[in-house]
């Protein structure tokens, strides 16, 4: 289905929620269905974290963080409609999924200088609408004017199972206990940090994906988009 050409009205869809709730999968599927672009904002935080790990940046020191950021050239390139992070000229799509990055990324994403560094990069993608962006503060901070905001939730057991599968598919050897601990740690840091904490926007629709198949969650999201573009909400 191509809602954008059917109605000639393109919108911004903001998808937020905790780690491992299926935000990226839904965002990707929805982008294909609508012929929109998908921006995975978490990949930007992960790419910066990868750089900090490689350069042994002391993230407790503001000066070291600011200096390191000045050496980072980071942008997203669309490959088949899917955004790939290009860090200083190299596509790091695979490297940013490593457990080492997952372990540190929430702490890096809580740093004000890092968030400020990424604000305009993210907002630029909204200029022409027809974009689906997933993250933690998209509906609250990056695109508070987004026409549709979804807040995705899922049971912890389901989240662990999905993330484990995703990592195993990438050939990463990790236990479900490690995955669960990492998700819990990131939930805590992401929702309690001072700058742009993860929270549901007042006007976001909550979508619990625990009992939904990939197709079912996509169907629901498409319905929400249609309601917006047809002026029903």
Residues interacting with ligand DC, by CB under 6 A? 19, 41-42, 45-46, 105-106, 109, 135-138, 186, 190
Q: What angle do CA 48, 139, 230 make, to 5 degrees?
A: 135
In the complex, least distance from residue 182 CB atom to ligand DC, rounded to whole angstroms: 9
Closer residue to ligand DC (CB): 35 or 37: 37
In whole angstroms, what is the distance from residue 233 CA to residue 25 CA?
Answer: 24
What's the gap between Cα 2 and its chain centre?
23
In the complex, least distance from residue 113 CB atom to ligand DC, rounded to whole angstroms: 13
In the complex, least distance from residue 230 CB atom to ligand DC, rounded to whole angstroms: 29
In whole angstroms, what is the distance from residue 10 CA to residue 34 CA?
Answer: 9
Closer residue to ligand DC (CB): 36 or 163: 163
In whole angstroms, what is the distance from residue 59 CA to residue 50 CA?
Answer: 12
Closer residue to ligand DC (CB): 184 or 208: 184
In the complex, least distance from residue 189 CB atom to ligand DC, rounded to whole angstroms: 7
User: Is 104:177 a contact under the CB 8 Å cutoff?
Assistant: no
Closer residue to ligand DC (CB): 3 or 22: 22
Pairing of strands 148-153, 82-87: unpaired
């Amino acid at each position: 289905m191509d809602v954008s050409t059917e109605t000639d009205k393109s919108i911004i869809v903001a998808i937020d929620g905790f780690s491992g709730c299926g935000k990226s999968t839904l965002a990707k599927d929805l982008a294909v269905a609508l012929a929109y672009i998908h921006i995975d904002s978490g990949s930007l935080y992960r790419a910066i974290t990868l750089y900090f790990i490689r350069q042994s940046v002391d993230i407790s020191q503001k000066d070291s963080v600011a200096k390191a950021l000045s050496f980072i050239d980071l942008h997203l390139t669309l490959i088949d409609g899917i955004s790939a992070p290009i860090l200083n000229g190299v596509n790091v799509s695979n490297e940013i999924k490593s457990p080492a990055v997952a372990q540190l990324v929430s702490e890096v994403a809580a740093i004000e200088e890092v968030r400020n560094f990424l604000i305009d990069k993210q907002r630029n993608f909204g200029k022409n609408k027809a974009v689906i962006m997933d993250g933690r503060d998209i509906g609250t901070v990056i695109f508070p004017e987004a026409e549709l905001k979804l807040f995705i939730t899922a049971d912890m057991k389901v989240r662990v199972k999905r993330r484990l599968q995703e990592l195993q598919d990438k050939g990463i050897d990790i236990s479900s206990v490690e995955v669960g601990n990492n998700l819990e740690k990131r939930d805590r840091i992401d929702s309690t940090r001072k700058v742009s904490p993860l929270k549901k926007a007042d006007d976001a629709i909550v979508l619990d994906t625990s009992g939904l198949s990939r197709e079912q969650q996509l169907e629901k999201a498409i319905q929400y988009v249609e309601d917006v573009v047809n002026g029903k909400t």
